[in-house]
Homo-oligomer: A and B are copies of this chain.
Amino acid sequence: MPTQSSSLPASDSSAPLTVMGAGLVGSLLSLFLARRGHSVEVFERRADMRQGGAVEGRSINLALSDRGWRALEAVGIGDEIRQVAIPMYRRVMHDAQGNLSHQPYGQDNQAIYSVSRAGLNRTLLTLAEADPRVTLHFNQQLAGLDMRARQLELRDTTTGQERQQPFRRLFGTDGAFSAVRSALQKTERYNYSQSYLEYGYKELNIEPGPNGEWLLEKNALHIWPRGQYMMIALPNLDGSFNCTLFFPYEGKHSFAALQTPAQVQAFFEEVFPDIVPLMPELTDEYFRNPTGSLVTIRCFPWAFDDDVLLLGDASHAIVPFYGQGMNAGFEDCTVLDQLMERLGDDWHAIFTEFQQQRKPNADAIADLAVYNFEEMRDRVGDPRFLLQKKIESRIAAQFPGKWMPLYSQVTFSHTPYAEAWASGQLQERIMRRLMSHIQTEADYDQPEVQALVQQEMAQRG
């Protein structure tokens, strides 16, 4: 560990690397760095979440998909996490009368996986701590960052004491409201944007049944699409579901419009009738749980010389509707690891290539996540949309390797997000042309429709 207040020589390749933030991406990143032989000092503002009393600040469960799995497997904990992950093979839509419809996420056994954010973070921290090259420091708030002098000013939140901590290379993985990024933002000509949806979210809970059973279909992501708002539910291991209501801040149906328990109860009974009996604590939870906001953050550059690099939400926080926030952050780790493999100790090249490669993909998944909100809260309730999805999977099956639905490219492939988005837009235009000739799934086999499909595919080349 470096001596306090001393400065590390720029050329010392044996100097430890510094990671600010031990959330999902920071703890995973420290493992990747350690496995390349580096000593890693990790500083985290919060207390060690593995000790009692830590408060959960964010959504309880997350959807892990292929990009995330690849990174977890690279550090050897794919199997361990798989034990505590619940596959969700399809969307189940609940209409206002409680009728269900559904849409598979992919082919055969393709699924996204409901995992506990806190559980996954704890596992990663324990794994990091077990590596002798990694040292974790909790309750360490970044109070200042002098990039020229390569010094952190850290405040111990338990004692209030501040100290200088030199660094040679700093990885900012401290989330959407990153303190490391705040320092970058003060540099000249920094590009930055924060954009909020006019929607907030509220977490609610569906309790397990009397014998710990799941009271909705377990292996599914449930959606109550209601046009201008929606609720979703993801399963937990204990038989409960974590629900999230995505709701406008203002307007006729909005957080502002529901001010009393009676109003909340009446509204849920009207629009989510099938779920009210499963939420005995609905109104208590509604007023006890905070209303979260939904922000997209974009910035550039992510690198400051070869000294500082932002990863994960610190550089590209997105809204949750594609289930890709964590997956994109984990993919950052995979990409950085590939660059370390290829470029060795040329950190300038690593940082430069990293931001050039990742920035367009981060922008694409940010756009996709906003786009998917509309799909989830509105289009999935439309029978024509579900028919289009069926037709599209018929095309994908008929032209293997030539057509992959956008959702599958994002979720079940490692195709860069920007490529997936571009190809998805192209496919969507084709689907719109085809759907004007299709009323039922059987129409797909009509000779004239097949001729059109062949023609479109030939034009795609």
Measured CB to CB, the residues of A under 8 A from B are 188-196, 249, 293, 295, 298
Partner of A193, one of B189, B192, B249, B293: B192
A195 — which chain B residues lie within 8 A by C-beta?
191, 193
Which residues of chain B are within 8 angstroms of A293 by Cβ–Cβ distance?
A: 188-189
The 3 closest A-B pairs by CB, nearest first: A193-B193, A189-B196, A191-B195
Question: Could you list 17 A-B pairs, sorted by A, with CB under 8 Å?
Answer: A188-B293, A189-B196, A189-B249, A189-B293, A189-B295, A190-B194, A190-B196, A191-B194, A191-B195, A191-B196, A192-B192, A192-B193, A192-B194, A193-B193, A193-B194, A193-B195, A193-B298
Inside 8 A of A196's CB, which chain B residues have their CB? 189-191
A331 CB to closest chain B CB, in angstroms?
25
Give A185's nearest chain B residue, CB to CB. B194
Contacts of A249 in B (CB 8 A): 189
When distances are taken between beta carbons in the complex, the residues of chain B under 8 Å from A192 are 192-194
Q: State A190–B193 Cα separation when bound (angstroms).
A: 10
Q: Which residue of B lies closest to A249 (CB)?
A: B189
Shortest beta-carbon distance from A298 to chain B in Å: 8
Say how far A327's CB is from chain B's closest CB, in angstroms.
Answer: 25
A191 to B249, CA, bound (A): 15
Q: Which residue of B lies closest to A293 (CB)?
A: B189
A190: chain B residues within 8 A (beta carbon) = 194, 196
When C-beta atoms are compared, the residue in chain B nearest to A192 turns out to be B194
Beyond contacts A192-B192, A193-B193: 13 other A-B pairs, Cβ-Cβ < 8 A, are A188-B293, A189-B196, A189-B249, A189-B293, A189-B295, A190-B194, A191-B195, A191-B196, A192-B193, A192-B194, A193-B194, A193-B195, A193-B298
How far is it, in angstroms, between the C-alpha of A440 and the C-alpha of B154 when the chains are bound? 70
Give the docked Cα–Cα distance between A293 and B191 (Å).
12
Q: How far is the CB of A291 from chain B (nearest CB, A)?
A: 10
CB distance from A176 to the nearest CB of B (A): 13
- CB-CB under 8 A from A188, the residues of chain B are 293
Choose among A188, A191, A192, A295 the residue with the greatest number of B CB atoms under 10 Å from its CB. Answer: A191
For A194, what are the chain B residues with a Cβ–Cβ distance below 8 Å?
190-193
* CB-defined contacts of A295 to chain B, threshold 8 Å: 189
The docked-state distance in angstroms from the alpha carbon of A325 to that of B214 is: 60
* Nearest Cβ on chain B to A299's Cβ, whole angstroms: 10
Docked Cα-Cα span, A295 to B189, in Å, equals 8
A191 CB contacts on chain B under 8 angstroms: 194-196
CA distance A191 to B298 in the complex (A): 12
Interface core residue of A188, A194, A249, A295 (most chain B CB under 10 Å):
A194
Could you tell me the distance between the alpha carbons of A26 and B56 in the complex, rounded to whole angstroms?
A: 47
A110–B189 CA distance with the chains assembled, in angstroms:
37
Report the Cα distance A189→B176, complex, angstroms: 13
Name the distance in Å between A246's Cβ and chain B's nearest Cβ.
15
Q: A178 to chain B: closest CB distance in Å?
A: 15
CB distance from A297 to the nearest CB of B (A): 10
Give A293 to B195 CA distance when docked, in angstroms.
24
- Among residues of B, the one whose C-beta sits closest to the C-beta of A188 is B293
Chain B residues lying within 8 Å of A193, measured Cβ to Cβ, are: 192-195, 298
Looking at A189, A192, A293, A295, which has the most chain B CB atoms within 10 Å of its CB?
A: A189
Cα distance, A195 to B195, chains bound together (Å)? 14
Nearest chain B CB to A185 CB, angstrom units: 9
- In Å, the complex CA distance between A189 and B200 comes to 10
Q: How far is the CA of A192 from the CA of B194 in the complex (A)?
A: 5
Shortest CB distance A359–B (Å): 14
From A190, A195, A298, name the one whose CB has the most chain B CB atoms within 10 angstroms.
A195
Q: In the complex, what residues of B have CB within 8 A of residue A189's CB?
A: 196, 249, 293, 295
Distance A307 CA – B195 CA, assembled complex (angstroms): 23
CB distance from A325 to the nearest CB of B (A): 18
- A193–B190 alpha-carbon span in the complex (Å): 10
A195 to B192, CA, bound (A): 7
What CA separation (Å) do A193 and B293 show in the bound complex? 18
A295 to B188, CA, bound (A): 11
Chain B residue, CB-CB nearest to A194: B192
Instruction: Looking at the assembled complex, report how far the CB atom of A188 sits from the nearest CB atom of chain B, in whole angstroms.
Output: 7
- Min C-beta distance of A415 to chain B, whole Å: 28
A175 to B227, CA, bound (A): 40
